[in-house]
Amino acid sequence: MLGFFRRGEKKEEKEHVKTAAIMSELEKICGDDKETYEALRYTMFLDPRKVGVPLDEATENARRLETEKNPSRARIWYDIAGGLAIYEGNARKVVEFFGQSEKLSGMKYPILKRAEKAVATAQEYYGKNLKA
């Protein structure tokens, strides 16, 4: 039984190292622009193709849950929609979705202050790191 837990630790450790390497690539692209890095750090998907939900469905889920008075789940779907909007390069929708998420949660989203720059930086990241 103890060996079972040890094997899981190694896999988890490898995933952490892989994620750290990818994030350092985003840091390289951002360079000295720490504000853009912070804006993207928790909002962009490193590989949005793995999300498995299109932007319109995520948006529909968020709005439906908000109408149903379920703000915590609506916020999650707005965050997903915002991450997908980053991938699509649509700064207007990024502001719309993360703005709604901020309204529902009270959390501050740095991406709202620099959506255009953040989306352009994310597009550069995706161009370098996501192969078709």
Interval 25-35: pLDDT, tens: 889 999 889 99
Question: Whole domain around residue 125: which residue ranges?
Answer: 2-129
Picking from 47-51, 75-79, 90-94, which range would have the lowest pLDDT averaged per residue?
Answer: 47-51
pTM equals 0.80
Long-range interactions of 98-107: CB distance < 8 A, separation 24+: 98/43, 100/62, 100/66, 100/74, 101/75, 104/66, 104/71, 104/72, 104/74, 104/75, 104/78, 105/71, 105/72, 105/75
Structure tokens at 17: 């190292």
Count the domains in the chain: 1
* Residue bearing the bigger pLDDT, 3 or 83: 83
Interval 81-124: pLDDT, tens: 999 999 999 999 999 999 999 999 999 999 999 999 999 999 99
